[in-house]
Structure 1
Amino acid sequence: MAFLLYSLALLGLANASPVMTIVTTITTSNPPDYFQTTPEIFQGPTPTGKEPFLRQTDDVQLSGVTYIPPSPLETQQPIQGNSDDGNIFTLLGNIAPYHPSPGFGIDEHPLPEGANVTWVNMIARHGSRYPTEPIELGAALADAKGAKFSGDLEWLNDWKYSLGTNILSSNGRQELYDNGVLHVYNYGQLFNPNQTKKLVWRTTTEDRMRKSAENFAAGFFGLNYADYVDLEFIIDEEGYNNSLSGYNVCENNGNLRTTAGANASAAFVANYTLPAAARLNALSTNFHWNSTWIYSAQQLCSYETVNLGYSKWCALFTYEEWQDFEYSIDLDFIGTFGFLSPTARAVGVGYVEEVLAKMRHHLITQATGSDNVTLDGRERTFPTHQALNFDFSHEVNIFAALTAFGLTQFAEPFSPEEYTEDRSVVVSAMTPFAARFDIEMIEAPRPVCADRTRGLYEEGGKTTYVHFILNQRTIPLGQSHAACGDRDDGWCELETFMKWQAGALEEANYDYACNGDYAPPAYGDVRNGAPPS
């Protein structure tokens, strides 16, 4: 029997036609029945029940943790200076394992009676992975001739670097599988299993992105997810239009014009790592610890934990040093992909344009940024009447999309020199591994009171609202756009939201931001995610 092993159409630059198709077949004999999985035999009764719809039915307020599933990771190491029962694994910025956000300053509310979630769009980050390139500390320690370590570093005499590159860890696969399970519980009834047309969910060609989408789909549908969904793989390389990696076609996002955040971060790292370097140098012979190696050691804490389950690197640093580690990442992100970057809106605006097009049920036939109109201009690859829209991307692209949506509550600069507790951006709460950003459309039979204790207004007709949820907590849209109102639930009426977003492309100033010849701004010179006009 001939089995189709692999079929993939890779679609390239905007306005381009498909550029490559690979089809491979293998021939094998029929497996015996005890190895046969398709078609199923002797499977017994299999009637299914009603799909869950937790976002529709959950009347419980978010008030605390009632159940914590077992975690494969050891994240409870004692850390010097941790007097408030904090956990350093919520202080690891973009390399933190997934955890729900602590919130964005607003309480969660169930849907009012008669209201319905009718549409959802999710963009999720890939799960925990190996580092994108080897951590150089491993090679530095291996090459250090005669290096010896004592005391709290004695274990380092036998330590060897053992991490791979880029691919998902086992924990990363679980994070995306669990995310799929979460979303079927929240939105399962938005899918009709008897519909003849498959859903289209989008990801990119990078291995960790493909595997993230596949594990999510398995969590949502089960291992037979291919019966219900087609995964669309979009080329993730420089020069190819892809809204899920918009930085690949924005030249200025990778040059000196967007180094303000990285520079501020590097200066902060050089300062806060001095005590740790002195501490470790006192335990080391023939190896000199500097700010680069201290920072790399802190990265190894995360990468070894999410890939190997445990890391001795974590306990070498104080709780304050872990807070500073996170702070350095926040400085980098707000200056490179946030409101202090001249290219942030441009990098994220292609995805914003796609979300708005799906909300309005129309295709995109003219490139406005990183949109791939070869795909976005076809209903087959960019379905416009699909209630469940799930995409898989990178943390920096999600961060840039939050900027391009104009969420100015994340725009306030914070000191590049001194740790600031109360700040606008905390990356570990926004784009940890397996982050998920959900946008809901909610229909109510009448307008919903901004004061949610009052229910619905007595007068008025059907009203649709937009609800932003980042890592399971509401982003209050009124904090960024006053016309949305000071609502208890953080929602924004649909037409108000669409008028707000109508200027997203103009705000991004895409061509000048990505290709213009302007002076590299210093940290804090840019406040709107776009270059000064």
Structure 2
Amino acid sequence: MAPLYSTLVAALAGASMATGYQANRPGTQNRYIFAKPYDQSFLDGYSVLKHVGGQGPYSNRQSYGIGRDPPGGCAVDQVIMLKRHGERWPDPGPAANFKTSLNKIYSTNTTSFTGALSFLNSWEYFVPGNRYIALESYNGPYAGLLDGYRHGAEYGVRYGHLWDPTAANITIPMFSSGYERILTTARKFGEGFFGWNYTDVVAMNIIPEQVYMGANSLTPTCLKDNDTAICSQLTASNLQPQFNVAAARLNSQTRNLNLNATDIYNLMQMTAYELNVRGYSDWVDVFSLDEWVAFGYTQDLSYYYCSGPGDKNMRAVGAVYANASLTLLNEGPEKAGAIYLNFCHDTNITPVLAALGLSSPAQDLPLDHIPFPNDYNTANIVPMGGHLTIERLTCNATVNTEAGVYVRHVLNEAVVPFTGCQTGPGFSCSLSNYTSLLSSSLPNFIQTCGFNSSYPQYLDFWWNYNTTHAYNFETQSPIPAEEGLLTYQGTAA
């Protein structure tokens, strides 16, 4: 072995000389020749978090490599954010489905599970009782309450310069839709962002999730959606063939077990929620990565055709928020204020993305196979805690760009350039061009969705908000005594 070793040493020495490497050269760092200054193992696609759709824990969007911080010579002078609630326990419907499929397994009367399901010999269901259904999780690395607070604290560092904590009698409104988990996330975010000032500075505004709000809503909807055909077809019959493979594999390992594709879907969805609550799940490894890719695509189809660009009315629904934010950007921080923090559901964010043309594939998603690449990966778009941030930038002149005001979108912490306008600093868009392109493309929400003049015709609460601190904290038990969800109904105008 000695000659081989000597040859290797000589080869390395020759390589270092050829590349100009000198271990002790003055002014240089001593670098091992095989050390990689840039990681080559980009493994995001191999993470289960990228294949649980909107059901599981937050993960940053896979980026285009554009810097997250403001471009050189630019500063953020206004921020408008729309955030989904954090990680949570399942809603009543899915929770019932989970138990149905679990009962199939337990009804085999197996005394000792083997193979992929051997962990069931000691596993316990993760939902403590019905009173936890649909609420934010509070323990574990992916806890929803932690998501809200941590995100607020991070944005407090990033955008804290937009307000003066020493100013007297300052009030900054925050806006939440009326669902319990949405409001809880908003409060935790506010505590993280504003710190000790949250109690006296913030005025939490709760916007009812009611049809009578018309366009003056964080959760607008069509009175009658006439484009639900494909959405209604996304039933068990559309499940991916990979689920049949998984069912056959598990059935072969447990006597009398008779799982079907729907059961596999239920168990995979349950896995995502167990991650939300416990931070881990033995169920993850029950299924192959190919099967997780298939599960993720079922989520993509649902969001795309039910609340995204695959429904022709969703751009009009998203136009409510897009139009109002456009007004804020043009009024600027001096007139309109600098901080707009808003909280809603996942299916309220996907219409806004459709209206803005963000993450919209060139072709409709196919129903009979998974497209590769898939530009509508829901885990990149609206995971638990997902958020869209619009930044208004004031920039100095550069060799290529004029001094002025620019706009850029940040989706789950990845900069996503605006389609057709990317010539500003950091691939941003000038506010004038952004205004022209967006205002000419947005459909009319009131006409498209069937509202008459008796309903509010536009989003108004950003300019006419309450200044009370009464809603900053819980005024009732955060967990309902009976099964059900706490919601803020408001009053009809």
TM-score by shorter chain over 0.5: yes
Separation in 2 of the partners of 1:154 and 1:115?
A: 56
CA contact (8 A) 2:56 2:273 kept: no
Deviations 1:474-515 (A, max 9, x none): 1111xx2x2x2456723111011111222354x256434558
Q: Encode CA deviations 1:431-483: one digit per residue, 9 max, x unaligned.
A: 1111121101111233x5xxxxxx555xx5x4110011111111111xx2x2x
Aligned pairs (5 A) from 1:364-443: 385-407=336-358, 409-443=360-394
Specify every segment of 5 or more residues in structure 2 that has no aligned partner in the other structure, as ranges: 1-36, 453-493
**In the alignment, which of 408, 425, 429 is matched to residue 467 of structure 1?**
408
Aligned partner (choices 148, 164, 184) of residue 176 of structure 1: 148
Q: Report if the CA contact (8 A) 2:68-2:415 is conserved.
A: no
CA–CA separation in structure 1 for the residues paired with 2:197 and 2:48: 38
Q: CA deviation at 1:111?
A: 3.9
Mapped contact 1:107–1:488 kept (Cα < 8 A): no
Q: Structure 1 pair 262/174, CA: closer, same or farther in 2 (3 Å)?
A: farther
* Residues 246 and 118 of structure 1, relative CA distance in 2, 3 Å threshold: same
Aligned 1:309-388 pairs, distance under 5 A: 309-361=279-331, 385-388=336-339
Give the 3 Å change call, closer, same or farther, for CA 150–109 of structure 1 in structure 2. Answer: closer
- Find the counterpart in structure 1 of residue 184 from structure 2: 211
Q: Decide whether aligned partners of structure 1 residues 64 and 303 sit closer, same or farther in structure 2, where only a CA change above 3 A counts.
A: farther
TM-superposed CA distance for 1:385, in Å, is 1.7
CA distance in structure 2 between the partners assigned to 1:282 and 1:238 by the alignment? 50
Aligned to 2:435: 498
- Percent sequence identity is 26
Distance in 2, Cα, partners of 1:485 & 1:308: 42
Q: Per-residue CA shift, 1:111-137, capped at 9, x if unaligned?
A: 455422111101111100111222413
Whole-Å Cα distance in 2 between the matches of residues 509 and 218 of structure 1?
A: 34
- For the residues of structure 1 that align with 2:446 and 2:350, how far apart are their CA atoms? 17
Q: Can you list the C-alpha shifts for 1:322-353, whole angstroms capped at 9, x where unaligned?
A: 01111111112111222211221122122112
Task: Give 3-state SS (helix, strand or coil) of 1:93's partner.
Answer: coil
Whether the aligned pair in 1 keeps the contact of 2:354 and 2:360 (CA below 8 Å) is no
TM-score relative to the length of structure 1: 0.68
Q: Does structure 2 conserve the Cα–Cα contact (< 8 Å) formed by 1:406 and 1:504?
A: no
2:330–2:431 CA contact under 8 A, matched in 1: no
Partner of 2:98: 137
Partners of 2:248 and 2:387 lie apart in 1 by 39
- Alpha-carbon offset, residue 252 of structure 1: 3.4
Measured after TM superposition, the shift of residue 263 of structure 1 is 2.6
Question: Which amino acid letter does the alignment assign opposite residue 156 of structure 1?
Answer: L
Whole-angstrom CA distance in 1 between matches of 2:70 and 2:99: 51
Q: 1:112 to 1:471 in 2, by over 3 A?
A: closer
The question of 1:117 aligning with 2:85 is answered no
8 Å CA contact retained: 1:259, 1:336: no
Matches within 5 A, 1:235-254: 235-241=208-214, 243-247=217-221, 250-253=222-225
Matches within 5 A, 1:80-159: 86-103=46-63, 105=64, 107-108=66-67, 110-133=69-92, 134-142=95-103, 145-148=107-110, 149-156=113-120, 159=123
CA distance in 2, matches of 1:227, 1:90: 39
Instruction: Give the superposition deviation at 1:239.
Output: 4.4
Match of 1:169, SS? coil
Q: CA deviation at 1:147?
A: 3.8
Structure 2 counterpart of 1:244, which letter? L
C-alpha contact 1:138 1:160 (8 A) present in aligned 2: no
Distance in 2, Cα, partners of 1:502 & 1:84: 36
Aligned length: 398
Map Cα deviations across residues 405-452 of structure 1 (whole Å, 9 max, x no partner).
Answer: 233744432332222221221110111111121101111233x5xxxx
CA gap of 1:438–1:299, structure 2 versus 1, over 3 A, is same
Distance apart, 1:90 and its partner CA: 2.2
Amino acid at match of 2:219: S
Greater displacement, 416-425 / 148-157: 148-157
Do 2:356 and 2:438's aligned partners in 1 also have CA atoms closer than 8 Å?
A: yes
- The answer on whether the counterparts of 1:345 and 1:403 sit within 8 Å (CA) in structure 2 is yes
* Counterpart for residue 3 of structure 2: none
SS at match of 1:474: strand
Q: Deviations over 1:184-242 (max 9, x none)?
A: 11111111111423100100221111110111011112254121111111112454445
Aligned to 1:305: 275
Alignment-mate amino acid for residue 252 of structure 1: K
Q: Which has the larger radius of gyration?
A: 2
Instruction: Give the letter for the 2:377 counterpart.
Output: V
Which amino acid counterpart does residue 329 of structure 1 have in structure 2?
Answer: Q
Deviates more, 1:171-180 or 1:308-317: 308-317
State the TM-score, normalized to the length of structure 2: 0.73
Mark the CA change 1:213 to 1:340 in structure 2 (over 3 Å): closer, same or farther.
same
Residues 197 and 263 (structure 1), Cα distance of their counterparts in 2 relative to 1, 3 Å cut: same
Q: Does 1:225 align with 2:192?
A: no
Tell me which amino acid in the other structure corresponds to 1:497. Y
Paired position in structure 2 for 1:165: 133
Q: SS at 1:232's partner residue?
A: strand
Contact 1:177–1:219 (CA under 8 A) maintained in structure 2: yes
Per residue, is there more helix in 1 or in 2? Answer: 2
Aligned pair in 2 of structure 1 residues 84, 339: CA closer, same or farther (>3 Å)?
Answer: closer
| 2:261 is the alignment partner of 1:291 | yes
What is the Cα deviation at residue 270 of structure 1? 4.5
Residues 359 and 101 from structure 1, CA distance in 2 versus in 1: closer, same or farther, beyond 3 angstroms? same
CA distance in 2, matches of 1:304, 1:91: 15
Shifted more, 312-321 versus 302-311: the winner is 302-311
Amino acid at match of 1:151: G
Aligned 8 A contact 1:109 1:489 in 2: no
Query: Is the alpha carbon distance of 1:422 and 1:361 closer, same or farther for their aligned partners in structure 2, counting shifts above 3 Å?
Result: same
Distance 1:347 1:267, change over 3 A: farther
